[in-house]
Structure 1
Amino acid sequence: MAPTQQSPLNWDLTKDQIEVTYKRLINEKKTLLDTIAALPLTEATFDSVVLPIARLDNETAAEFGVITFVQHVSTDKELRDASTDAEKALVEFEIECGMREDVFKVVDTVYKATDQSKLSPEDARLLEKTHLDFRRNGLALPKDQLAELRTIKKRLSELSIQFSRNLNEADVELLYTREELDGMPDDFIAGLKTKDEDGVTKYVITTQYPDLFPLLTLATREESRKRMAVAGESKCKENVAILEEAIELRQKAAKLLGYPNHAAFVLEVKMAKTPEKALSFLKDLRNRLAPLGQSELDQFRKYKQEDLARQGQAATNVVVESWDYRYYMNKVKEREYNVDDEAIKQYFSMDNVTTGMLSIYQTVLGLKFVEKKGVSQWHEEARLFEVWDGASDTFMGHFYLDLYPRKGKYGHAACFPIRPGSQLSDDTYSTPVAAMVANFSKPTPNTPSLLKHDEVVTYFHELGHVMHHLCSQTRWARFHGTSTENDFVEAPSQMLENWCWEPKVLRGFSSHYQTKEPIPDALLDSLIKSKNACAGLFNLRQLFFGLFDLTVHTQADGKVDTTKLWRQMRQDISLIQPAPNTWPAASFGHIMGGYDAGYYGYLWSQVFSADMFYSRFRKEGVMDPQTGKDYRFKILHPGGSRDGGDLLRDFLGRDPTIDPFLKSLGLE
């Protein structure tokens, strides 16, 4: 399966082209499935049934990826809407395909008659997963229940797409005077639009991350932070009803399929296997973290008490609110560790970080990146890179970087696997294409884009997903790259975040954007020491998200008041309550974007990422090419063609353990 160098994807799309493409894709697959369903059972074999379906998925994956990706990045609302409509139609069609009784009858015959020991491991896995997909789609149910399940799944698809569309399109604008923005740095102010209101110049602040996070972290006036927090946590009220309907429908579907709840259905095919195991993990970790989190909260309360006293306000019974969380976390870093995020970011311009990061990935993973210009893009800010194997000079694929916010664009940071790698019908190999989409602060007339350290970590993490996609090589598209168990998929990227805490690595791409001097040792040392600053509260917050997700998806009837439950659990677990009269669950994109009953996976996979880093890279060298080669070929290369647990055992030489993770948090 030698990869063949392919041209970059074409992004010169029209609304009509998107519509024509998705309808053709639906027609091609329907025709194939009709043919397979009509096969006499005596002619049903792996080669005549399972392979043709998988081959068609391989052949059409690129077009599917392109037309459904456009909704996240295009500046043209008509194109975004067309892309959203295409995804809705394709997802609904895939639901229908997965619930065709006539096709399942043929697949079931093949599954029962095939000696899997005579298939290659990946082909055997393909057969196993294809058959399991049909069973999990209810094909063993009576016709009336199957019809009900089909209706539920289509409605869930509609709800998920609408939830995401509402989030992407929602952007609240607030107006602040310069005095109300006390504490905000000059480069932040310089990048803001202004409006005249009653003769007063006011600054426009949005709820997009490049505005939201800095203001909540740096604005000294509590009222200014509160306004922003309330605005951010009260977006998309219509999503509350969408989420609650989805939770109830998921529970109904699970019951129809014979599972006690939606979480049990979801976790069956993950590393954790059962909700009980995931909940036990989270609750054990919560017990370990709670004392640390409480001591950190006491420190926050002390700082806030001092601030209130300086302002002449009563300072008894001080409550740390949600809009105080980032602000006082930053104060801890400044006061206890002498870390000044604003000073640090002067040394991490976007250009330097990008160049340094790409160099690190090339060295560790044995790759070579070549930027391509003058080719079709969806936006002038997007950059395209070719990926080559550094040793053999074999072409491996493409990736895009689209790093700054704009209206209508996807609002978080993520890797989009646009085209999976796979073997085509002519025995050539279709090389993968991925895009990293983010929302870092844009350059201003006076300064380049400057990244805070936590943004550097985010950059490393999401580019890690891109590398997972590019370094994987599988025969079948369904197993490529990040198509692993959801509670394993974050581990490879989380592991690579550790490079952001290595002094030599940071020095390698730090350079003051004006003086060109490297970051001072004292500033760097303070940053490294602050790695576990507020680790208790930070991880309790992650635990809250995971426990909230599992709680709503283990309700017996699926009925849940998400706003009430969110408020109760947020206070109880994270120790900090949400802003009043808000509905933050309406913006919890993960729960409607494929991580339902799966958010626990972020912490679950942290265990594996810590074990990989501390047990191999820390001992053998963070830039050691042999360790990097092992990581690339034992963890990234197989994609989802093998179980995550098997990949870990190959790389570690043993079963993974939680000890390195606990030590990394300073808990043992």
Structure 2
Amino acid sequence: MPSAKGAVLSFGLAPADIEAIVARLIAEGKKIQDGVAAQRNPTFDSVIVPLARRESDNAGEYGVVTFLQNVSTDKEVRDASTAAEEKLNAFEIESSMREDVYRVVRAVYDNADEMARLGPEDQRLVKKMELEYRRNGLALEKAERERLGAIRKRLSELSIQFSRNVNEGDGHEAFTREELAGLPDDYFEGRATTVVDGVEKYAVTTKYPDLVPAMKLAQRESTRRRLLYAEETRCPDNIPILQEAVRLRLEAAQLLGYKTHAEFVLEVNMAKHPDAVVEFENDLRKRLDVLSDKEVREIAALKRADKEAAGEPYEGLFIWDFRYYANLVMERKHKISDEVTKQYFPMREVTRGVLDIYQEMLGLRFVRVDSPPVWHPDVEMYEVWEDTGDVFVGHFYLDLYPRENKYNHAAVWPIRPGFERADGTREYPVAAMVANFPKPTLSAPALLKHSDAVTLLHELGHVFHGICSVTKWGRFHGTSVEGDFVEAPSQMLENWGWEPAVLRRFAVHYKTGEPIPEDLVARLVAAKNEGSGMFNLRQVFFGLYDLSLHNTEDPNVDVKANYRRLREEICHFQNDSADTWGAATFGHLLGGYDGQYAGYLWSEVFSADMYESRFKKDGVTNAQTGLDYRREILRPGGSRDAMESLERFLGRKPNNRAFLHSIGLGTE
């Protein structure tokens, strides 16, 4: 029997352990499905409950064995984890195509008397389960069903391989100190060096803590160009993987009677149809172009002046100029420098302060676990309790620093959902945040850019969406909401990173402990929308690129050429003549955002409305607003439509006025 704190997951698995768990999960799953399919008198209790119970009960082990490929330092464990995901996904695809199981699920769905006796979440479970089987082709003829099953298995394999390539396919360059002029001294501390023809050079990788500062601060255009080339020519094998995935997705959608893959995936999102998303993206693009034109002219003037001073011809703005000159505008106009600002954002203080804010807002208490059972010494584990009484809520992990062969962006894995066990007690949720923030150096602790602190707020928003959710069934837990709402709660919480009263709580100088100066906070807030036209157009580009692949009836759409063409057209920065393939590391397209990347901006509409209408109005530290947010947005997870949750929290239907205002576009 699990303890009152829930069963603590074990990450210390050897390859043989992983293989054994997978074999058991598949065998048990098949036995349950066989028993369900044999039911002569299908009811909710005899059909739906066993299927849903299997999902919930197995989620923790499934989560661990598939998660380790992203974080383990042992290649054999990563390989075993990748193989585990392939086998488990293949089994789930086979399960979703079982006509005998669908027959009894459909019988329950069609039984009006049986459905009428169920509560709202149980009714939703039946409806979603039946729809899932139908969307998996169970209404098709046998040959078409078998083809659809083969496509789904292949897509699973492609997705896993794409992710593995991105995690392990870092680019590397070596530069002299002069070639890295503009980078601060701490960038070089502890950095590997090599001697080439008698000249010492520093190793720079395409991992974010290396790449982003160099792209923002390296004064030499040739250095930035080389680094971008290294980033956009890694993982070449991912281009044919993406090309095949796009073709297979279209074939699968058309087998099911949809014109495009986007039409298929968006049917179950808030947007409902790609036409609504295309209209949203194109309207926003037109509005943003007005802002972006001014910003690009400002940047072009800076680069033109640099070229004149160096006696070199001005040949235009290129992709590798984007971060550098946007940062230069920030420094000159608002007197904001990441190198100065980061001194007030030591990792330890920021993490403590952000966690304190979440505790107060959500009515929680966090307890750091000593000597936790984790996958790496850098990882921290926390228990989560209600702030009044000894009521356990869940636990989460923080894996915040880069290392070789680790997932190289920032993301949250909902490793185990919370749910109601068969005996009526609760299993508690587990979430893991994985990021790649700068590590401590010889002369300073880990220091974050302000944007890193905002990222921390965002990703922890996903953590607590999972931790605070309370649903009966695991499939509805936490972030298991419509795809174009899943980012909204986390995006909403980014606003705390721009609130002066909030920043002053944790932004302190790493040497003196002095709080961040008020004038620096004021400059940060004033600069919030600097470059918003360009930065949001970049998001529009990603969304429209995704739709160019997935909202078309052309199976041979060129994934490589479309990326370069649309980026140049939408973002207003040139490519050069070098052959690159930036789409090869666009992990969202093989990581569940296919056909729906625009959901990031779509959900920004809801996040801005929640923030402005409730938190900004009531006060960001208003405890009652925080509890309303926890009750109406986080707690239900996907157990009801996201629009219902939004309307309950807002007290009305959402609108886009706050969003347009938040990016400097006004409300006209």
- Tell me which interval the TM-score lies in, with the shorter structure as reference length: over 0.9
Q: Distance in 2 between matches of 1:114 and 1:151?
A: 34
Deviation at 1:578, TM superposition (A): 3.7
Secondary structure at the aligned position of 1:531 is classed as coil
1:25 paired to 2:22 = no
- 1:421 corresponds to: 418
The one-letter amino acid paired with 1:473 is V
Q: 1: distance between equivalents of 2:347 and 2:572?
A: 35
Partner of 2:403: 406
Q: CA deviation at 1:391?
A: 2.7
Q: Deviation at 1:375?
A: 2.3
Give the distance between the partners of 1:633 and 1:435, measured in 2 at CA: 22
Compute the displacement of 1:7 (Å).
4.4
User: Contact conserved, 1:22 with 1:86, CA < 8 A, in 2?
Assistant: yes
1:548 partnered with 2:539: no
Residues 29-56 of structure 1, C-alpha deviation per residue, up to 9 Å, x if partnerless? 101111111222xx11111000111111
Query: Do structure 1's residue 502 and structure 2's residue 530 form an aligned pair?
Result: no
Provide the residue aligned with 2:580 in structure 1: 582
CA contact (8 A) 2:158 2:241 kept: yes
In structure 1, stretches of 5+ residues that fail to align are none
Corresponding residue number in structure 1 for 2:644: 646
Deviation string, structure 1 residues 144-172 (Cα, Å, up to 9, x no partner):
11111111111111111111111111011
Quote the Cα distance in structure 2 between the aligned partners of 1:96 and 1:557: 28
d(CA) in 2 for partners of 1:31 and 1:5?
Answer: 30
For residues 510 and 232 of structure 2, the distance between their equivalents in structure 1, rounded to whole angstroms, comes to 35
Aligned residue among 54, 68, 71 for 2:69: 71
Q: Is the alpha carbon distance of 1:57 and 1:612 closer, same or farther for their aligned partners in structure 2, counting shifts above 3 Å?
A: same
3-state SS of paired residue (1:346): helix
- Which residue identity lines up with residue 542 of structure 2 in the other structure? F
Residue equivalent to 2:216: 217
Give the structure-2-normalised TM-score: 0.98
After superposition, residues 85-100 of structure 1 pair within 5 angstroms as 85-100=83-98
2:483 is the alignment partner of 1:470: no
Query: Residue 8 of structure 1 contacts residue 375 of structure 1 at CA under 8 Å; is this kept in 2?
Result: no
Partner of 1:16: 16
Aligned partners of 1:349, 1:11: CA distance in 2, in Å?
29
Q: Do 1:300 and 1:328's aligned partners in 2 also have CA atoms closer than 8 Å?
A: yes
Give the AA of the match of 1:5.
K
Is 1:349 matched with 2:346? yes
2:459 is paired with a residue whose SS is helix
Shift of 1:577: 3.1
Q: Cα distance, 1:657 vs. partner?
A: 0.3
Q: Which residue of 2 aligns with 1:54?
A: 52
What corresponds to 1:111 in structure 2? Answer: 109
Residue number in structure 2 paired with 1:205: 204
| Paired position in structure 1 for 2:320 | 323
> Which residue of structure 2 lines up, in the alignment, with residue 375 of structure 1?
372
Superimposed CA distance per residue, residues 30-89 of structure 1 (whole angstroms, 9 cap, x where no aligned partner): 01111111222xx11111000111111111111111111111110001000100100110
Check conservation: 1:542, 1:603, Cα contact below 8 A. Answer: yes
5+ residue gaps, structure 2, are: none
Separation in 2, partners of 1:167, 1:641: 34
Asked if the contact 2:372–2:380 (Cα under 8 Å) also holds between the matched residues in 1, the reply is no
Tell me how far 1:560 sits from its aligned partner. 1.1
Provide, for residues 319-345 of structure 1, a one-character-per-residue CA deviation record: whole Å limited to 9, x for no partner.
111110000110111111111111000
Partner AA of 1:514 in structure 2:
K
Give the C-alpha shift of residue 510 in structure 1: 1.1
Deviations 1:224-247 (A, max 9, x none): 000001110111111000001000
Aligned equivalent of 1:622, options 620, 623, 631:
620
1:536 has 2:536 as partner: no
> Are the equivalent residues in 2 in contact too, given 1:3–1:430 (CA < 8 A)?
no
Q: TM-score, normalised by structure 1?
A: 0.98
Contact 1:3 1:431 in 2 (8 A): no
Matched with 1:279 is: 278
Verify the 8 A CA contact 1:71 1:80 in the aligned structure 2: yes
Separation (CA, whole Å) in 1 of partners of 2:295 and 2:173: 31
- AA partner of residue 586 (structure 1): A
Equivalent position of 2:145 in the other structure:
146
Could you say which residue in structure 2 is the equivalent of 1:658?
Answer: 656
CA distance in 1: counterparts of 2:552 and 2:482, whole angstroms: 24
In structure 1, how many angstroms separate the alpha carbons of the residues matched to 2:261 and 2:118? 33
Answer yes or no: is 1:489 the counterpart of 2:491: no
Q: Separation in 2 of the partners of 1:485 and 1:260? A: 21
Deviations along 1:503-535, one digit per CA (max 9) or x if unpaired, are 111111011111211111221211110000000
The answer as to whether partners of 1:159 and 1:242 remain within 8 angstroms in 2 is yes
Task: Give the corresponding residue for 1:298.
Answer: 297
**Separation of aligned partners in 1, 2:523 and 2:105:** 60
1:363 is aligned to 2:360: yes
2:589 partner amino acid: I
In structure 2, distance between residues paired with 1:650 and 1:127: 24
Q: CA deviation at 1:112?
A: 0.5
Deviation string, structure 1 residues 423-460 (Cα, Å, up to 9, x no partner): 11222100000000000111011111100011111111
Residue 259 of structure 1 aligns to which amino acid in structure 2? Y
Return the offset for 1:199: 2.1
The separation in 1 between residues aligned to 2:664 and 2:153, in whole angstroms, is: 46
Q: CA offset at residue 559 of structure 1?
A: 1.4
Deviates more, 1:260-269 or 1:567-576: 567-576
Q: Distance in 2 between matches of 1:142 and 1:237?
A: 38
Kept in 2: contact 1:3–1:396 (CA 8 A): no
Q: Where has structure 1 moved over 6 Å in runs of 4 or more?
A: none
CA distance in 1, matches of 2:451, 2:390: 34
Query: Which deviates more, 571-580 or 340-349?
Result: 571-580
| Residue number in structure 2 paired with 1:185 | 184
SS in 2 for 1:190: coil
How far, CA to CA, are the matches of 2:238 and 2:644 in structure 1? 39
- Counterpart CA distance in 2 for 1:577 and 1:432 is 46
Equivalent residue in structure 2 for 1:391, among 375, 378, 388 = 388
Describe how 1:118-157 pairs up with structure 2 within 5 A: 118-157=117-156
**Once structures 1 and 2 are overlaid, which stretch shifts more, 561-570 or 641-650?**
561-570
Identity fraction in percent? 54
AA aligned to 1:6 is: G
Q: Which amino acid counterpart does residue 361 of structure 1 have in structure 2? A: Y
Q: Which amino acid aligns with 1:338?
A: K
Q: Which amino acid aligns with 1:292?
A: L
CA contact (8 A) 1:487 1:605 kept: yes
Alignment check: 8 A CA contact 2:409 2:436 kept: yes
8 Å contact kept, 1:46–1:114: no
SS at match of 1:396: strand
Q: Secondary structure at the match of 1:481?
A: coil
On the 8 A contact 1:491/1:609 being kept in 2, the answer is yes
- Answer whether contact 1:540 1:573 (CA < 8 A) is retained: yes
Shift of 1:3: 9.6
Matched AA of 1:431: Y
> What is the distance in 1 between the residues matched to 2:291 and 2:125?
46
Q: SS of 2:293's equivalent?
A: helix
SS in 1 for 2:438: coil
Number of aligned residues:
663
* 1:595-610 paired onto structure 2 within 5 Å: 595-610=593-608
Q: Deviations over 1:193-252 (max 9, x none)?
A: 111222221101001111010000000010000000111011111100000100000000
For the residues of structure 1 that align with 2:466 and 2:201, how far apart are their CA atoms? 44
Q: Aligned-pair distance for 1:108?
A: 0.9
User: Does the CA-based 8 Å contact 2:548-2:562 persist in structure 1?
Assistant: no
- The equivalent of 1:435 in structure 2 is 432
Query: What per-residue deviation string (whole Å, max 9, x for no partner) do you get for residues 12-34 of structure 1?
Result: 21100000001100000101111
How far 1:117 sits from its partner (Å)?
3.1
